[in-house]
A = this chain, B = another copy of it.
Amino acid sequence: MWLIWLVHPRREEKHALYQQVGIVGVGLIGASIGRALKEKHLTKRVIGIGRSASSLAQALLVNSIDEAHTRIGPEIADVDLLIICTPVPLVVDAVDRAWTILRPDALITDVSSTKSTIMAEIERRRPKDRPVAEFVGSHPMAGSHRRGPEASRPDLFENHTCIIMNSTSATPHAREKVKAFWRALGMRLEEMSPQEHDESVARISHVPHLVSYALALSARERDLKVAGPGFRDTTRLGGSPPALWREIVRENRSAVLDGLDGYLAELKQLREMIEKEDWPGLENRLTDANQCVERLGSVASSKST
Q: Is the CB of B208 within 8 A of A234?
A: yes
A293 interfacial by beta-carbon distance below 8 Å? yes
A299 interfacial by beta-carbon distance below 8 Å? yes
- Given the interface contacts A205-B228, A234-B234, A270-B213, does A246 sit within 8 Å of B293 by beta carbon? no
Which listed residue (B200, B239, B263, B292) contacts A226, Cβ 8 A?
Answer: B200
A77 interfacial by beta-carbon distance below 8 Å? no
| Closest B residue to A139 using CB positions | B226
Q: Is the CB of B227 within 8 A of A286?
A: no
A219 interfacial by beta-carbon distance below 8 Å? yes
Query: Which A residues lie at the B interface, using CB under 8 A?
Result: 141-142, 160-161, 163, 190, 192, 196, 199-201, 203-205, 207-240, 242-243, 245-246, 249-250, 253, 256-257, 259-260, 262-268, 270-271, 274-275, 277, 279, 282-290, 292-296, 299-300, 303
Which residues from B are CB-within-8-Å of A242? 283-284, 286-287, 289-290
| Closest B residue to A259 using CB positions | B218
**Residue with the greatest number of chain B CB neighbours at <10 A, chosen from A160, A216, A275, A295:** A216
Q: Is the CB of B228 within 8 A of A204?
A: yes
Expressed in whole angstroms, the minimum distance between the Cβ of A109 and any Cβ of chain B is 17
Q: Is the CB of B250 within 8 A of A277?
A: yes
CA distance A226 to B233 in the complex (A): 19
CA distance A250 to B268 in the complex (A): 16
Which residues from B are CB-within-8-Å of A286? 213, 240, 242, 245-246
